Amino acid sequence: MTKIYDLHCHSTASDGVLSPTEVVQRAAEQGVNVLALCDHDTVCGIDEARLAAKEMGIELVTGVEISTTWEGRGIHIVGLNFDKTHPKMTALLAQQKALREKRALEIGEKLEKAGIPNAYEGAKTLANGEVTRAHYARYLVQLGKVSNDGQAFKRYLGQGKSAFVKAEWVDISTAIETIQAAGGMAVIAHPLRYKLTGKWIRRLITDFKTWGGEAMEISGYGQTKDQRQMLARWANEFGLFGSVGSDFHFPCGWVELGKNLDLPEGVEPIWERF
Ligand code: AMP
Ligand code: MN
Ligand code: MN
Ligand code: MN
């Protein structure tokens, strides 16, 4: 029997809505055999997820989604199968946590100027760990300022909007180096979601490969067949392994754990290197 892999999802340790236990339970219900929990810049959910995975009889891969800055843009690098207690990883995540807190406060100040007071406190009540923009988006929906999360990014939180704060995250090469120092592998997350042109995506993959990165996500949610094929071609052209992940954040009609994540033929799966 071929296994079902989902190597990218979120819990309440970052901006997911289900607890690590609930995510693992849901993954098991969906028939996932191997799951990586990849919360934003934190491994705080891993211990709980590992316990639940043991109980549910599924394999848990230690994961993280590191926010990086590349050419002035935010790019996400997933780390898989590493030692989460490695001092270099611990130091990097502590640094990212401090950056996130500082940025969250600045976003709150900008929202205040845009006529929405106490948004930091509001977003904080929705967060278990660090405040992300997703928590701000949910708070803005709760206030009735916007009708959904997407609108919150379009009106306030997205690049160039009134409450946008440019974050100086770690750079890609440091993220790769740290993941590898901790014994893991680095993956470019959702390459088609950065609104980059083909030329810029190729530039990103070239840099990532030059800095020693190992893999890129090929199969995710909401892709066309052509997009998946294009990503598969790039992975082969640049000599990268392929990964798959739903990027599940919460139960909804359009993203599900482990659903429709087959890796196209001819791409080398990253899990063969675990
Ligand atoms: P942050 O890491 O704080 O910048 O928050 C980014 C998170 O916000 C992403 O991981 C997504 O979960 C969420 N997000 C980003 N853009 C959008 C969008 N347009 N609509 C809904 N959620 C979004
Ligand atoms: Mn997220
Ligand atoms: Mn991401
Ligand atoms: Mn993600």
Q: Is 132 in the pocket of ligand 1 (CB under 6 A)?
A: yes
Has residue 1 got a pLDDT over 80?
no
SS3 label, residue 217: strand
Q: Is 156 in the pocket of ligand 1 (CB under 6 A)?
A: no
Instruction: Please tell me the predicted confidence (pLDDT) of residue 166.
Output: 93
Which two three-digit tokens encode residue 192? 């088609």
Q: What are phi and psi of 120, to 5 degrees?
A: -60, -50
pLDDT by residue (tens digit) across 2-13? Answer: 999 999 999 999
Has residue 232 got a pLDDT over 80?
yes
d(CA 249, CA 188): 18
d(CA 245, CA 248): 8
Instruction: Please tell me the predicted confidence (pLDDT) of residue 251.
Output: 98
Query: Is 146:152 a contact under the CB 8 Å cutoff?
Result: yes
Which two three-digit tokens encode residue 225? 């067949």
Q: Is 68 in the pocket of ligand 1 (CB under 6 A)?
A: no
Q: CB under 8 Å to 198, separation ≥6 — which residues?
A: none
Beta bridge partners of 121: none
The chain-wide mean pLDDT, for the chain, equals 98
Q: Which of 107, 149, 166 to mutate to test the pocket of ligand 1 (most atoms within 8 A of CB)?
A: 149
Instruction: Please tell me the predicted confidence (pLDDT) of residue 234.
Output: 98
pLDDT by residue (tens digit) across 100-142? Answer: 999 999 999 999 999 999 999 999 999 999 999 999 999 999 9
SS3 label, residue 76: strand
Nearest C-alpha to atom 8 of ligand 1 is from which residue? Answer: 134
Instruction: Please tell me the predicted confidence (pLDDT) of residue 62.
Output: 99
pLDDT above 70: percentage of residues in the chain: 100
Domains in the chain, start-ordered, CATH in brackets? 5-84+170-273 (3.20.20.140), 94-157 (1.10.150.650)
Q: Once rounded to an integer, what is the mean pLDDT over residues 37-44?
A: 98
